[in-house]
Amino acid sequence: MSPLLEMILRFLLATALGAGIGYQRERAGKRAGVRTHILVSSGAALFTLASIYGFGGGTADISRVAAGVVVGVGFIGGGVIFRGARGDEIAGLTTAATIWMTAAIGLTAGAGMYLLSVVATAVIVVVLLLPKIRG
């Protein structure tokens, strides 16, 4: 397979997996839905692909890109966490964690870890479908 076709397939996989998670979030009535999750996942995949194929023919330190994505997406995820009107409840933690995991899935798809990215997406969707446990 040509390197260009391989890159396109990795990008499209990341996009599809991000869409799957985003679809679940949108169906659950969350503000960060399909578009947000597609952008996070496909963006992470593009950064990964650029680091693998675009800088020095594979001699660049690819782990730096992953570290940068984790920090950047953590900042974005932090923006969706807020306190409720009473001040004693916190909302948005699951959405922030979902955005963070979607970036990780995009990184793995971009790195060519196809099965891992698909399994991770399936696990995340199942976890999101589980009922909340109230104490």
In the chain, pLDDT over 90 holds for what percent of residues? 59
Residues 95-116 pLDDT 10s: 889 999 999 999 999 999 999 9
pLDDT at 70: 84
Residue boundaries of the structural domains of the chain: 3-129
Question: In which band, very low, low, confident or very high, does the pLDDT at 18 lie, cut at 50, 70 and 90?
Answer: very high
Q: What number of other Cβ atoms are within 10 A of residue 44's Cβ?
A: 28
Question: In which band, very low, low, confident or very high, does the pLDDT at 1 lie, cut at 50, 70 and 90?
Answer: confident
In the numeric block, which tokens belong to residue 89? 């409840």
pLDDT at 56: 58
In the numeric block, which tokens belong to residue 97? 């964690």
> Is the per-residue pLDDT at 45 higher than 60?
yes
> Is the per-residue pLDDT at 86 higher than 90?
no
Instruction: With CA atoms as reference, report the closest residue to 92 among 79, 103, 102.
Output: 79
Q: Report the first-to-last Cα separation within the chain, whole angstroms.
A: 53
Q: What is the mean pLDDT of the chain?
A: 88
- Burial class (CB within 10 angstroms; exposed 0-12, middle 13-18, buried 19+) of 23: middle
